[in-house]
Amino acid sequence: MNMEIIQDSLPKLLDGAAVTIELTFFSLALGLCLAVPLAIMRLHKNPLVWTPVYGFIFYFRGTPLLVQIFLVYYGSGQFQEFLNHIGLWVFFREAYFCAVFTLTLNTAAYTAEIIRGGIQAVPYGEIEAARACGMSGSLLYRRIILSKAFRLAWPSYTNEVVFLLQATSLVSIITLMDITGAARVIASRSFAFYELYITAAVFYLVLVYGILFVFRKIEYRLSGHLRSPSLIA
């Protein structure tokens, strides 16, 4: 094993780690903002509201992320004139934008299903109690349903965060220099394939288990009311 190459490549891989974290963070934040209304619409009684959302979720969960990325990054080229006309081509020509765009839609679909599960798991008695107290509409959602649903969905959401972090490795295929992208470029230049891919794998392992550690801590905090006091003392 050539340790020197690994050492020399560390700065590049650290830059790559910054890109990976950035992509994960932006997509997660935007995806979550999309997922909450999607989950509520998915549970709407009117079929005109829930069927399009169901179709969106089904498509993004049923096809590989790689296809979705190519569909946006290369596929947008087919509509270049139209996109140019409405002034969106400047975005779709950038690999970074396409990556965030696709990852956001993808994670929004998965997260919407997770939040829907959380909303449906909220005990109906709590909603009845809230109604009896005079809450309705957005107040009921904000104070009772969504806050409880988030807590219930947190363990599943942790998994989704880890999957998304790993999924960002695909952006290396559309020329972005995340951890995988940096490792691929250095590896093909130096022929030190296993050294670099193993180092990249270690980077991901650290990130994944770091995220898991933090999210478990948050989960512990969120479930404080469920632990019996005698166990804490």
Residue with tokens 């193993």: 198
**Taking CB under 8 A as the criterion, which residues in 194-233 touch another protein?**
194, 197-198, 200-201, 204-205, 208-209
Question: Is residue 74 part of the contact set for another protein (CB under 8 A)?
Answer: yes
Residue with tokens 């801590």: 217
Interface residue with another protein, options 34, 166, 215, 219 (CB under 8 A): 166
Q: How far is the CB of 4 from another protein (least distance, A)?
A: 14
Of 69 and 112, which CB lies nearer to another protein in the complex structure?
A: 69
Distance separating alpha carbons of residues 67 and 174, to the nearest angstrom: 12
CB 99 within 8 A of CB 172: no
Question: Is residue 13 part of the contact set for another protein (CB under 8 A)?
Answer: no
DSSP characters for 135-186? Answer: --HHHHIIIIIHHHHHHHHHHHHHHHHHHHHHHGGGGGGGT--SHHHHHHHH
CB 111 within 8 A of CB 31: yes
Question: Is residue 82 part of the contact set for another protein (CB under 8 A)?
Answer: no
Question: Is residue 170 part of the contact set for another protein (CB under 8 A)?
Answer: yes
Of 140 and 198, which CB lies nearer to another protein in the complex structure?
A: 198
Distance separating alpha carbons of residues 110 and 37, to the nearest angstrom: 13
Question: Is residue 88 part of the contact set for another protein (CB under 8 A)?
Answer: no
Question: Is residue 106 part of the contact set for another protein (CB under 8 A)?
Answer: no
Question: Is residue 11 part of the contact set for another protein (CB under 8 A)?
Answer: no
Q: How far is the CB of 184 from another protein (least distance, A)?
A: 7
